[in-house]
Amino acid sequence: MNNYLPLIINAALNAGSEILNVYRSEISVEWKADLSPLTEADRRAHSIIETALLTTGIPVLSEEGEAIAFSDRNDWERFWMVDPLDGTRQFISRSGDFTVNIALIEGGRPVLGVIYAPLRGTLYYGSEGTGSFKLEGIRPGMPLDWPVITGSARQLPFRNGRRSYSIVAGQYFSGPETEAFIELKRKQYGKVETTSVGSSLKICLVAEGSADVYPRLAPTMEWDTAAGHAIAKFAGCRVYDHATNAELSYNKENLRNPWFIVERPDFAAAVAS
């Protein structure tokens, strides 16, 4: 799997470069049938990533690709799951919290993931057997090779000395269920800090230890979470169904996720240590 990391990191960086080209121009928006926004940046990023990934001989399932019937993908043991531009609303509003997400799924579980935030110059990646890492100051067009990446990246999670329980939530779709979840944590831990960011960066904050939990009690799709799931999982976090407590799975007939939680190990034990 790690042989694929240089390929998909370069694909993410190249997609990020095209996304920034559109970001710095006038952004025109179309609306898909599900009323989610679509821009030229989504299309360009998808084309770059798909072209790179197809060289592996592994099928690609992308938010912006052609719809693939469940009967055709049901037998896939391994495939790429891609969100070429996660956080399109943040992209349109120019808030900066948008990412490129690429994951490798095996047996319905993510085994490798890369998330790149091009405006921030931040790259997260994680894989089974290796762990998860964060690399900062990485810009599209920089000459990068694998030794440079592995030598500069910091392994997740970080020790940050926080003494308060931290919850990260989305900039959109936060409803009464999320507020009730936050109130429950206040009763459990006392002082609670809350942070709001966009896109898959929420999952990354839990993975790196800047937050303890991300409750997503609102709709998402599998491509929204697959890469972040891998990074969080291999940084020691759980990504699980809010109702059943089971780990999220991928390549379901309906690609919509259930409500889910991304959570670091027990906060009280971490503070005590």
The predicted model scores a pTM of 0.94
Mean of the pLDDT values across residues 33-62?
94
- The amino acid sitting at 168 is V
CA distance 227 to 101: 6
**Is 87 marked as binding a ligand?**
yes
Pairing of strands 122-127, 109-117: antiparallel
**Is 126 marked as binding a ligand?**
no
**Is 88 marked as binding a ligand?**
yes
151-209 pLDDT, tens digit per residue, is 889 999 997 777 789 999 876 656 889 999 999 999 999 889 999 898 999 999 999 99
CA distance 85 to 48: 12
- Cβ neighbourhood burial of 137 (10 Å; 0-12, 13-18, 19+): exposed
Residue-level pLDDT at 234: 97
108: alpha, beta or left? (left if phi > 0; alpha if psi -120 to 50): left
Residue-level pLDDT at 9: 92
The set of residues, in sequence order, having a beta carbon less than 8 Å from that of 179 and lying 6+ positions away, is none
Note the CATH number of domain 2-155. Answer: 3.30.540.10
**Is 85 marked as binding a ligand?**
yes
Provide the Cα torsion 6, 76, 219, 26; round to 10°: 50
86-140 pLDDT, tens digit per residue, is 999 889 988 878 999 999 999 999 999 999 999 999 999 999 989 999 999 987 7
Classify residue 26 by its DSSP letter.
P
Mean of the pLDDT values across residues 56-65?
97
**Is 145 marked as binding a ligand?**
no
Residue-level pLDDT at 139: 79
CATH domain 165-272 topology: D-Maltodextrin-Binding Protein; domain 2 (3.40.190)
**Is 63 marked as binding a ligand?**
yes
Q: What is the domain partition of the chain in residue ranges? A: 2-155, 165-272
**Is 104 marked as binding a ligand?**
no
